[in-house]
Structure 1
């Protein structure tokens, strides 16, 4: 292939082929096939000399040294970390500026998808910076912060009174143990312009050149705390459960009569209310919120095929669920489903009834 593509160069220069294979003996031998004979005839036009391949001990030694050499950073190489957090009504985030011991600058902006106060955002930014520096291999770190409260709590000059602040402070102290030397210094906001601009998702005023910013989204806070929301609103099942358990009736006489009339269609078993039916087994009663989730799973879930109202209601009953507003919720869901609106049949029927029109002939007698 090389002799064909570079034929003028091969004909005007002497060619030296260094190989450990017996190519010369194969091409110049008597016992050779037609294919090898064809190759030998094509290469006969060039001045080719075959030489044995020399040993490459020097290159092998250089490659071995390059692969096996382990870099040990010096203890006096100090990394710098500039941190700032920002907490607004709409956007909460943090900005980090990391300067390595060799002068390499790394900028990072992180947006928080959870509610956090200004101090919590500052602690999250500090924790993020400590994690990144530790993963990068820093042993000696100097942090610079414009929040005097956080600097005082980390250095032990002030005390964290809030429980959440105490949890954040404990988390920071555990991360500080990963460094041989760590200092946190308070600086004015004017000296922390880059981290402040990154926290506000804006460009820095110190460096006007283009740079790469790594964007991340932090879905959960670094500390583990659970917030439980309890819904104490009464559902449609509560009157039936109270009546079947303790024969308790509403104060309104009409509602009491209606409850006594319809309660025979319900049964209570181990604290769960069930609906009786002629054609189905006992149907488990659920709240409208749970029923909405069931409807969405059946109509547009993983196996949903966006069927009509009667089909979806039948599948809900076959799966053993019931609530009073089943038909209305199903009609509302299907009416508001975008896929059903896009792919539904276009109605050709006129909106009004057709009316006959009588033509007036001017010369009719």
Structure 2
């Protein structure tokens, strides 16, 4: 490369572009390129932004070259794995003799055009002469710069409150008159009377969006919700009519909010259905007590089971809350009605014991527990308990 003071990144880009030109001249259609410059690889594959003007131009030139191939991919490798390219680089930097089979070519200028400096400031006479000379030139050399400006939403209110001018549309005029009662003029600027009595300065919609973005994800932003964002913007004394919709769009399009926001309506675990397919396939089981001690017998508790399909009730008084008692009670049910498919019960210690679990596992019975905060899951047994 025979041009003054090339940077390392510029040299990497020049080598990349020169190699792609040679591959295109040889008829290649697909390229897989390996390089040890992580910056060039990341910028070329659009994995990071280019800030420098020359880097932006080089990346654009690479994209133009890439479009000429059916496929092109850059991969980053370590300097140790790039021995052949490093050997050729050392030959050029040390001016060593060129070995056989290596082609030598001198690049005299950059592949990109450097950004021109800003033109010097012209005097008034020179400017007029330049404009006259441009006007006499061909029409194709004339350039028009058009800037589209969106009218501010405050303009109709200012025109009405200051000059008593209304729009020609009667519907719009009535709207301006009706809504202008909530606004006032302070030092030539429009302010709105808030409910709390604070004067809110009316700002442009773009400025309002920037304000919401700063509150939401700025230096002190905490990714608040839509209503909190609008309330904070109004509380500090700003107003614009589309604040609510702007805040909603901002939160909906915020990637961290969508990834890490809590989901209050989602269950912590998968919901278990209670299918009623056939008789005596599913039972609800519960225990009532302690009750007044009976005599004779001394029974203080009551085990209740109800079939979910037929509403058949089984109840037996017991003296204790041991797991063996619950197992013996349900063994009697299985001897008369067969092995059920599942049992729905609460989180009682006698039902959530190892012995009761072993009994269910041996019989192929699924044991399901009702939520403590939602006892309606086992509502049939609860109603039977009240009935008994």
TM-score, structure 2 as length reference:
0.36
TM-score, structure 1 as length reference:
0.38
Q: Which has the higher contact order (CA 8 A, sep 6+)?
A: 1
